[in-house]
Homo-oligomer: A and B are copies of this chain.
Amino acid sequence: MPFIPHTKEDTQSMLDVIGAKSIEDLFDEIPVELRAKPLENVPAGRSEMAVNRLVRQRAAEDVQPLCFIGAGAYEHHIPAAVWELTTRGEFYTAYTPYQAEASQGTLQLLYEFQTMMAELTAMDVSNASLYDGASSLAEAVLMAVRANRKSKSKRILVPRTVHPTYLKVVKTITQHQGITLEMLDYDIDGGHLNIDTLPSEPGDFTALIIPQPNFFGVLEDVDALTDWAHAHGALVIGVVNPMAMALITPPGEWGTEEAGIKGADIVCGEGQPLGVPLSSGGPYFGFMCCAQKHVRQMPGRIIGATNDLDGKPGYTLTLQAREQHIRRSKATSNICTNQGLLTTAATIYMSLMGPEGLRRTAANSHANSCTLTKQLNAIDGVETIFSRPGFHEKVLRLNKPVKEVLSALEDRGILGGYDLSAEFPELGNALLVCVTETKTEEDLQHYASSLQEALQETLAEVSA
């Protein structure tokens, strides 16, 4: 019996102690008419050997071409130590650290995680994770509504440069709360949210979302936007790529002294770039940081340092009164299980990279992206659309339909990028191309020459 240790004798003597004749008897409180029919669509049990073979074949089917897709999920090198440590049984098979004394490993690690995330974003505090980047933005919106007590409008200003799927998730999750999401268009030249297009009249705004970098990979004018929001009584929700934070101004420092308040109020985002493999989309982890004054509105687990009976330092879940298991229908969120193991990986990843390793990874990704863009711009029929600087993604306009070009690139062993034409038809044949530190000079050349060929080929096909 897979995973069941009972011998026949065990079973019998246990039934004797219970005073039951058979295991079947133990189900006698279930009305007979409800008893289930056999599970016909569950296959018969297989040995580990058989399952192993099947699933390895499946995985082998999915070996991937060279990947230049980003759009919210980024391929970075992950040190081997990260997952060798993360999958140690004591991390992997522990529960949420409710019983603090028996969970100091997880708790101290999460305290370290919180410290690192707060440092990376230059914010006061961090929670211990949310589900993913998209849902963390939804939680940030809900949190902003709770936190901005002065604002009654529940109006959230949302640039169109926020990841389109994130927007969908925000809608799904916040739609029952009377919240208005007001879309702000982007600057067609810069690819950013132009400060001049923000409402000039005063008004009750609950929060402004600022993506950095934005979905186009473009860097937003964060200081001006932050100042604008604070001047209008709106909270600033930063949604950032944590890897980029090693290189560019973190949200805790957004804005200028003149505005009186500096820094974003809430920062969230997708933690995947920090040591989590692409994995077909998950598990990743969402993170959330905020200014100290908002900490009681934060959703999710928070770990605090404390002392034990002997005065020795230790760690424990704290501010639990925000959470569903205490506050129930009045909790800040319904979240319970979060993405603990992924924060374990991220913490180990950041420890192994250190500030310099992380900075170089970010800088290298940026430089590779610049190099490739330059090479691609030299190709006939390819041009960079936006003028503003970016991090490690660029939007290119092609003189051919993106879908066909991508398919031609696939034939050359390349996943060429993310096709923007459906979601941003106004940009024409627009392709979002990401390059990280994982790509070599040869990879970039291979991309460039393949794109050149692909464009010619589609041309040939079209004219044929």
A49 within 8 A of B: yes
Hey, what's the 0/1 contact readout for A208-251 against B, CB within 8 Å counting as 1? 00000000000000000000000000000000000000000000
A77 within 8 A of B: yes
How far, in Å, is A118 (CB) from chain B's closest CB?
Answer: 25
From B47, B48, B84, B437, contact of A49 by CB (8 A)? B437
How far, in Å, is A259 (CB) from chain B's closest CB?
Answer: 39
How far, in Å, is A353 (CB) from chain B's closest CB?
Answer: 11
A37 within 8 A of B: no
Contact indicator A84/B84 (Cβ below 8 Å): no
Kindly state the separation between the CA atoms of A8 and B53 in the bound complex, as whole angstroms. Answer: 51
A334 within 8 A of B: no
Q: How many interface residues does A have (CB within 8 Å)?
A: 15
Kindly state the separation between the CA atoms of A130 and B239 in the bound complex, as whole angstroms. Answer: 58
**Given A87-B84, A88-B88, also A79-B437 (CB < 8 A):** no
Which residues, 63 to 115 on A, are CB-close (under 8 Å) to B?
77, 79-80, 84, 87-89
A88: which B residues are within 8 A, CB to CB? 88
Hey, what's the 0/1 contact readout for A418-462 against B, CB within 8 Å counting as 1? 000000000000000000011010000000000000000000000
A377 within 8 A of B: no
Kindly state the separation between the CA atoms of A136 and B87 in the bound complex, as whole angstroms. Answer: 36
A437: which B residues are within 8 A, CB to CB? 49
A153 within 8 A of B: no
Contact indicator A80/B48 (Cβ below 8 Å): yes
From B47, B53, B80, B84, contact of A52 by CB (8 A)? B80
Leading 5 A-B pairs by shortest Cβ distance: A49-B77, A48-B79, A49-B438, A52-B77, A48-B80
Name 14 interchain pairs, CB-CB below 8 A, sorted by A.
A47-B77, A48-B77, A48-B79, A48-B80, A49-B77, A49-B437, A49-B438, A52-B77, A52-B80, A53-B438, A53-B440, A84-B87, A84-B89, A88-B88
11 further interface pairs, Cβ-Cβ under 8 Å (given A49-B77, A52-B77, A53-B438): A47-B77, A48-B77, A48-B79, A48-B80, A49-B437, A49-B438, A52-B80, A53-B440, A84-B87, A84-B89, A88-B88
